[in-house]
């Protein structure tokens, strides 16, 4: 039993693939650590959880990637990078914040910031391609995981909308209408139209 109830891997990839994946993840975390020194990044390799997480302890900002995500067959370097960028976005993505967890940037805005700001900082001229590849992987991952989640425990932002948000961020266009609609639906309040929330 897990308190968080997050999906977990059912089987492990080959030893060779594990070594490769771990190496890629550690290198990415190192790159993000250099780009965003105010964030403490780590990998919980032994965890089977297919997820990543952002949290704070006082003023210290953490991002943790779980082993089950790194080893997942659907996810390669661009997908993993976009996920790390997304978690970083919970800390640095700006407004709007999550109305139910006021310290952090809302899920959709964290996606948008990841694609628009973090990926270019880490990937430079390769950011656009890497972001779109990563976005497709995350869409596929969601589709893989939905059947594993408990009834009624579906993600609070639809996979398709997240894909559109990533694409908008990568293209430098405005956050798409689906994001605002899903924000309204999730929190039963209007999507903030200014930077006062």
Piece of the chain touching other proteins by CB under 8 A; list 105-113, 118-126, 127-135, 164-172:
105-113
Instruction: Locate 90 and state its tokens.
Output: 């919970």
Q: Is 101 a binder of other proteins (CB under 8 A)?
A: yes
Q: How far is the CB of 65 from other proteins (least distance, A)?
A: 9
The residue from 20, 55, 76, 94 that contacts other proteins (CB under 8 A) is 55
Element spanning 143, H or E? helix 127-145
CA dist 96 and 94 (Å) reads 6
Piece of the chain touching other proteins by CB under 8 A; list 30-38, 128-136, 142-150, 167-175:
142-150
The residue from 28, 29, 39, 52 that contacts other proteins (CB under 8 A) is 52
Q: How far is the CB of 195 from other proteins (least distance, A)?
A: 13
Q: Is 120 a binder of other proteins (CB under 8 A)?
A: no
Q: Is 57 a binder of other proteins (CB under 8 A)?
A: yes
Whether residue 76 contacts residue 20, with contact meaning beta carbons closer than 8 Å, is answered with no
Q: Is 35 a binder of other proteins (CB under 8 A)?
A: no
Q: Closer to other proteins by CB, 35 or 44: give it.
A: 44
**Distance between alpha carbon 115 and the CA centroid of its chain, in Å?**
10
Give me the residues paired with residue 55 across strands. 62
Nearest to 163 by CA among 148, 183, 143, 146: 143
Whether residue 87 contacts residue 99, with contact meaning beta carbons closer than 8 Å, is answered with no
The 66-85 site mask, x for binding other proteins (CB under 8 A), equals xx-x-------------x--
Asked if residue 96 has a cis previous peptide bond (ω within 30° of 0), the answer is yes
Concatenated DSSP letters of 118-136 = IHHHHHGGGHHHHHHHHHH
Piece of the chain touching other proteins by CB under 8 A; list 28-36, 96-104, 118-126, 167-175:
96-104
Q: Is 87 a binder of other proteins (CB under 8 A)?
A: yes
Q: Which residues 6+ apart lie within 8 Å of 136 measured at CB?
A: 163
CA dist 4 and 145 (Å) reads 15
Size of the site for other proteins (CB under 8 A): 61
| Residues making contact with other proteins (CB under 8 A) | 1-8, 12, 15, 18-19, 22, 43-59, 62, 64, 66-67, 69, 83, 86-87, 90-91, 98, 100-105, 107, 110, 138, 142, 145, 149-157
């Amino acid at each position: 039993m897990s308190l968080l109830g997050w999906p977990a891997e059912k089987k492990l990839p080959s030893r060779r693939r594990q070594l490769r994946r771990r190496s890629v993840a550690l290198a990415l975390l190192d790159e993000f650590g250099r780009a965003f020194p105010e964030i403490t990044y780590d990998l919980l390799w032994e965890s089977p959880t297919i997820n990543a997480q952002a949290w704070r302890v006082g003023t210290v900002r953490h991002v943790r990637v779980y082993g089950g995500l790194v080893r997942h067959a659907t996810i390669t370097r661009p997908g993993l990078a976009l996920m790390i960028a997304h978690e970083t976005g919970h800390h640095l993505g700006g407004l709007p914040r999550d109305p139910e967890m006021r310290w952090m940037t809302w899920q959709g805005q964290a996606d948008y910031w990841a694609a628009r700001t973090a990926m270019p900082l880490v990937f430079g001229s390769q950011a656009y391609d890497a972001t779109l590849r990563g976005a497709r992987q995350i869409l596929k991952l969601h589709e893989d995981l939905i059947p594993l989640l408990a009834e009624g425990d579906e993600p609070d932002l639809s996979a398709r909308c997240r894909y559109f948000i990533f694409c908008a961020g990568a293209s430098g266009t405005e956050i798409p209408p689906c994001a605002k609609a899903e924000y309204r639906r999730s929190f039963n309040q209007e999507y903030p139209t200014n930077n006062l929330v």
